[in-house]
């Protein structure tokens, strides 16, 4: 569907602020009617479909998240270090870039002796992957200190009539 100029701007603004009234005002609708026009625009199937399509383009899927966590779980210092003939370790960011592994770096901090590079925690990534697959179930124990009394109140429908 071809959107009007205001509808196109409304969609863009809504994706920035996630507030239908404010998006309507920013799109040029009257401030007096924006509170009703904004939500009304969101109910229009073509506008709702366009917003959903645009959101799906920017939202990370569960598979993508698990893929990134898997990369973190499998990461090691081998991904960013070289060892020279004298046994000294040297950072090699070019090696990481070539392998597409720069996303594994959590932080880079300058120090007095050089730089400190911290990778994302492999252990934490494994924990999150395990939770996503339902491998870990928290066990909760309860101690009953008072007896529980259960009563059943019979309704007329619960009682069978004797045959006459």
| Average pLDDT estimate for 79-97 | 87
Report the chain's mean pLDDT, rounded to a whole number.
86
Q: Which domains are seen in the chain, by residue range?
A: 5-58 (1.10.10.1400), 62-124 (no CATH)
Helices (H), 3-145: 5-17, 20-26, 34-43, 45-58, 62-74, 93-98, 122-132
Alpha-carbon gap, residue 34 to 50, rounded angstroms? 20
| Residue 162 pLDDT level (bands cut at 50, 70, 90) | low
How far apart are the C-alpha atoms of 163 and 153, rounded to whole Å?
23
Confidence of residue 81 (pLDDT cuts 50, 70, 90): confident
Contacts of 61 (CB under 8 A, 6+ apart): none
């Amino acid at each position: 569907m071809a959107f009007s100029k205001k509808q196109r701007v409304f969609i863009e603004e809504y994706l920035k602020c996630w507030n239908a009234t404010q998006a309507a005002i920013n799109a040029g609708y009257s401030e007096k009617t924006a509170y009703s026009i904004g939500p009304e625009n969101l109910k229009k199937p073509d506008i709702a479909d366009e917003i959903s399509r645009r959101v799906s383009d920017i939202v990370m899927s569960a598979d993508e998240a698990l893929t990134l966590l898997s990369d973190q779980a499998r990461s090691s210092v081998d991904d960013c270090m070289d060892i020279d003939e004298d046994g000294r370790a040297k950072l090699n960011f070019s090696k990481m870039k070539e392998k597409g592994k720069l996303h594994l770096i959590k932080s880079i901090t300058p120090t007095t002796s050089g730089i400190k590079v911290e990778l994302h925690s492999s252990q934490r990534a494994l924990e999150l992957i395990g939770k996503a697959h339902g491998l870990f179930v928290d066990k909760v124990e309860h101690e009953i200190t008072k007896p529980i009394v259960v009563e059943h109140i019979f309704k007329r429908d619960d009682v069978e009539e004797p045959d006459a």
